[in-house]
């Protein structure tokens, strides 16, 4: 073990899709979370002959760091398929003596992002070049020690994958149930099932401000709240919905989310807080209603009926007119059980993801200490 230059253990690859045998479906993107993702580029009519090949067990990164939240976009191809990345990406692979999974753990540390950003160079756009990558000084343990700590990381990763596979099975079961209800259950207008409630944070006790995104999830507000009067904000509690009428047409998404947590939070006064009617002649479960509006078909219909204003809104009165199939309560409960299991798995996946991020620095440090002992 000892301090070495990373360049001694990595080598670049510049293989291109010159013969055009791979198409736009093979093109992937690289995220600052160090993941290979679906490309965000519009590939219509784009030739892929200049794109670089990303073979299995190879890495790729985008040298530009200044416009990516001070982080590096990087990915590691753990699949058995060759992928395509943009020609601006740098593709490389580890050589003998450096376990690729160990290198991936090294890249997943926040220390690496800080190092890469600090050592980026340029004027209008700063970049971390291949030469800069090779110049990294790394304390590299023996291969046997690397593999030992990689095994711990991969065990955690296997748990996450198992949860993800279970999630996919639940999604199939939910989709099949909803499809059956769509053709067999009587339809009821949303206005017969939901009602608006308006409780304000008048004493200012609640300071946890949340918003909702197009994935129909709650998230911390991105607004600047330094001078905001939070006593005007609306309180939302467990099993209530947050609904935003704005930009439904623009985003092709009905912005609605069901709040699951025990502790209440506050949301913008621009949102509506909805809940299941207590005096309705119909029996409905909040989770079932949320399941219906989690479908892409519901989003497309919301886009279709949104108004022609500059915000392309789906006003609450129009939202109330939407009809959804409403099966007997016991059938709702059966599919809601799937929904609750899915929500729990999603929380576990998120928890494991956070643990994996936090684990990488610990494992790298532990491997160095063991090799030094």
Q: Where in the chain is the domain with CATH 3.90.220.20?
A: 2-140, 186-326
Q: Read off the pLDDT of each residue in 281-299 and give the average, rounded to a whole number.
A: 95
Q: Which of 176, 228, 220, 174 is nearest to 201 (CA)?
A: 228
Helix boundaries (H) for 135-242: 143-184
For 128-179, what is each residue's pLDDT tens digit?
999 999 999 999 999 999 999 999 999 988 888 888 888 888 888 888 999 9
pTM, two decimal places: 0.67
List, for residues 271-286, the tens digit of each pLDDT value. Answer: 999 999 988 999 999 9
Note the pLDDT of residue 349: 85
CA pair distance 243, 317, nearest whole angstrom: 12
Answer whether residue 124 shows pLDDT above 80: no
The yes/no answer on whether domain 2-140 falls in CATH 3.90.220.20 is yes
Q: Residue 356: what pLDDT?
A: 85
Quote the longest CA-to-CA distance of the chain.
Answer: 74
Average pLDDT (247-260) is: 91
Burial 137-156 (b: 16+ CB within 10 A, else e): ebebbeeebbebbbeebeee
Share of the chain above pLDDT 70, in %: 98
Axis crossing angle, helix 286-293 with helix 143-184, rounded to the nearest 10: 100
**Mean local confidence (pLDDT), 75-87:** 95
Candidate from 8-12, 215-219, 248-252 with smallest mean pLDDT: 248-252
Q: Please answer whether residues 313 and 307 qualify as being in contact, where contact means their C-beta atoms are separated by less than 8 angstroms.
A: yes
143 CB-side CA count, 13 A = 8
User: Residue 195 in contact with residue 211, Cβ under 8 Å?
Assistant: no
- Which residues, in sequence order, are CB contacts of 144 under 8 Å at separation 6+? none
Tell me the average pLDDT across 288-314: 90
Name the residue with higher pLDDT: 37 or 223.
37
Distance between CA atoms of 83 and 54, rounded to whole angstroms? 5
* pLDDT, mean of residues 46-51: 93
pLDDT band at 371 (very low <50, low <70, confident <90, very high): confident
Residue 188 pairs with which residues in a beta bridge? 324
Reported as a pLDDT band with limits 50, 70 and 90, residue 300 is very high
Tokens 């800069």, residue located = 132
Mean of the per-residue pLDDT values for the chain?
Answer: 92
Q: 197: left (phi > 0), else alpha (psi -120 to 50), else beta?
A: beta
Q: What percent of the chain has pLDDT over 90?
A: 72
Please check whether residue 167 is in contact with residue 346, taking contact to mean a CB–CB distance below 8 angstroms.
yes
Phi and psi at residue 8, to the nearest 5°: -75, -15
* Inter-residue contact 53 to 86 (CB < 8 Å): no
Written out in words, the top-level CATH class of the domain with range 186-326 is alpha beta
């Amino acid at each position: 073990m000892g301090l070495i230059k990373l360049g001694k253990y990595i080598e670049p690859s510049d293989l291109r899709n010159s013969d055009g045998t791979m198409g736009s479906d093979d093109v992937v993107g690289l995220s600052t979370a160090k993941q290979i993702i679906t490309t965000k580029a519009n590939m219509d009519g784009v030739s892929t002959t200049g794109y670089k090949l990303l073979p299995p067990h190879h890495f790729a990164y985008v040298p530009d760091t200044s416009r990516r939240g001070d982080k590096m976009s990087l990915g590691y191809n753990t699949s058995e398929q060759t992928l395509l990345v943009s020609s601006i990406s740098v593709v490389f692979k580890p050589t003998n003596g450096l376990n690729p999974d160990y290198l991936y753990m090294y890249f997943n540390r926040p220390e690496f992002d800080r190092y890469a950003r600090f050592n980026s160079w340029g004027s209008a756009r700063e970049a971390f070049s291949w030469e800069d990558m090779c110049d990294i000084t790394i304390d590299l343990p023996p291969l046997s020690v690397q593999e030992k700590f990689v095994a711990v990381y991969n065990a955690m990763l296997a748990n996450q994958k198992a949860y993800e596979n279970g999630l996919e099975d639940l999604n199939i079961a939910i989709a099949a149930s909803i499809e059956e209800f769509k053709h067999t259950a009587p339809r009821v207008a949303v206005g017969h099932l939901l009602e608006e409630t308006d409780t304000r944070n008048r004493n200012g006790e609640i300071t946890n401000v949340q918003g909702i995104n197009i994935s129909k999830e709650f998230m911390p507000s991105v607004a600047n709240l330094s001078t905001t009067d939070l006593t005007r904000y609306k309180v939302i509690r467990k099993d209530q919905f947050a609904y935003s009428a704005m930009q439904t047409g623009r985003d092709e998404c009905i912005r609605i989310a069901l709040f699951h947590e025990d502790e209440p939070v506050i949301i913008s006064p621009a949102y509506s807080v909805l809940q299941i009617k207590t005096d309705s002649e119909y029996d409905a479960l909040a989770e079932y209603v949320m399941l219906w509006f989690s479908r892409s078909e519901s989003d497309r219909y919301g886009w279709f009926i949104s108004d022609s204003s500059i915000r392309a809104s789906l006003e609450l009165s129009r939202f109330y007119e939407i009809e959804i199939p409403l099966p007997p309560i016991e059938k709702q409960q059966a599919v809601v059980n799937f929904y609750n299991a899915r929500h729990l798995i999603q929380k576990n996946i998120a928890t494991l993801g956070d643990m994996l991020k936090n684990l990488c620095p610990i494992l790298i440090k532990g491997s160095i200490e063991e090799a030094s002992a």
